[in-house]
Amino acid sequence: MQFSLTSEQEMLRDTVREVTRAKVWPRAAEIDRTAEFPWDIAHQFRDLGLMGLAVPEEYGGAGMGVLSCCLAVEEVARACASSSLILADQELGMLPILVGASEEQKRAWLPRFASGQELIAFALTEPSAGSDPAHMKTAAVRDGDHYVLNGRKVFITNGSVAGGFTLFAATEPGAGSKGISGFFIEKDTPGLSVGRHEEKMGIRGSPTVELILEDCRVPAANLIGREGDGLKIALITLDQSRPAIGAQALGIAAGALEYAAGYAKQREQFGKPIAEFQGLQFMFADMATKVEASRLLVYKAAALIDGQGKSRGRLPTEINKISAMAKMMASDTAMSVTTDAVQILGGYGFMRDYPVERMMRDAKITQIYEGTNQIQRLVIARALLA
């Protein structure tokens, strides 16, 4: 499969790269230090029309596809993983609506999020249901023309700044995967509140919170798809969102590699730049090869999804497999490359005055969220051996 970008995609990539260097890079260390959500950068992305790159134009998006979204996420992540997550999480939050909602629901809900007017968050994980969402405890009980939801969601990215949520709950407790349903919930719905704000090792500028639902009454009209379709919608969503996390990891790795290479050409030991030492040259060769291999997998996964057009609810097994490969490979690469970048900078790499230690901390989460890499390996093996 060829990955020659269209002129439109090249222009998008170059524009995001320029904005990232001018607006994001100077703020990256401060965002990490203060752990504050960068509203100024979110508004910059909104003004550039980046918040709905993969959303069709009829729903207020740019209609440029998943590959274009990945290009933007990759460029931003070179400088600041927290800022790149604004774009990746916006896509994730909207995907259940694109995958499972009715035409009427899509037109009612998507435009304000695709335009960047508001943020949206995805709420699946619970304290006892991370890799095993079929056994979630949050319950949704039908009561007339409403559902009453009770439970807790944890590790919700951007949950405290979102204007709406795509959230999953058990409408038939005990039925496992067939008893889960999806809902769209407005942030000001009575009974919905934000609980604990997590203190994290990385992506510190992206708030990660607990959501608490206490007799939260959600209109029955906000059910996404049919009762019992929720887990299927969530899993298809993750198949389509994982390339964006792969792109985030890819950007982190590429940024660390670029910085370490620049440093090695300037830093002198034993009378010459350390870049001239063969031991480090071998490290750089391995780092660059891993980054390029990851880029090809991420782009392939995104291109496969884009090739499905509007058939978002019926993705073939090949996408399931390649999407998992892309996320796994890119995130393992991000951890490996950032660790090597810290090593190349030596003692300076361990200091917060230099960005590679932040990149290393940020890289770790990419191996964990949207399915741990152990889960990705299970997905790949099952698809391969089915």
Summarised one tens digit per residue, pLDDT across range 276-299 is 999 999 999 999 999 999 999 999
Q: Which fold has domain 120-224?
A: Butyryl-CoA Dehydrogenase, subunit A; domain 2 (2.40.110)
Which residue, among 95, 65, 245, 227, has the nearest Cα to 166 in the 3D structure? 95
Mind listing the pLDDT tens digit for each residue in 71-110? Answer: 999 999 999 999 999 999 999 999 999 999 999 999 999 9
Burial 118-157 (b: 16+ CB within 10 A, else e): bbbbbbbbbeebbeebbebebbbeeeeebbbbbbbbbbbb
Q: Which parts of the chain are beta strand (E)? A: 120-123, 139-143, 146-157, 164-170, 180-186, 192-197, 208-219, 223-224, 268-269, 272-273
User: What CATH number labels 7-114?
Assistant: 1.10.540.10
Residue 311: pLDDT over 60: no
| Domain locations in the chain as residue ranges | 7-114, 120-224, 230-385
Active site residue 10: no
Of 126, 210, 357, 370, the catalytic one is 370
* Angle, CA 95 vertex, CA 18 and CA 382 arms, to 5°: 105
CB distance 110 to 97 below 8 Å: yes
Structure token digits, residue 86: 């604004």
Residue 310: pLDDT over 60: no
Share of the chain above pLDDT 70, in %: 97
The residues, ordered by sequence, that sit 6+ positions from 90 with a Cβ below 8 Å of its Cβ are: 51, 52, 113, 116, 119, 120
Average pLDDT over residues 260-282: 97
Mind listing the pLDDT tens digit for each residue in 20-71? Answer: 999 999 999 999 999 999 999 999 999 999 999 999 999 999 999 999 999 9
Q: How confident is residue 321, by pLDDT bands cut at 50, 70 and 90? A: very high
Q: How confident is residue 1, by pLDDT bands cut at 50, 70 and 90? A: very low
Average pLDDT, the chain: 95
User: What CATH number labels 230-385?
Assistant: 1.20.140.10
Region at 90 (left for phi over 0; alpha for psi -120 to 50; beta for the rest)? alpha
Which residue, among 238, 240, 261, 242, has the nearest Cα to 250 in the 3D structure? 242
The residues, ordered by sequence, that sit 6+ positions from 31 with a Cβ below 8 Å of its Cβ are: 38, 80, 82, 83, 204, 205
Q: Give me the pLDDT at residue 317, please.
A: 75
Is the pTM value of this prediction over 0.85?
Answer: yes
Helix, strand, coil tally for the chain in percent (to 5): 55, 15, 25
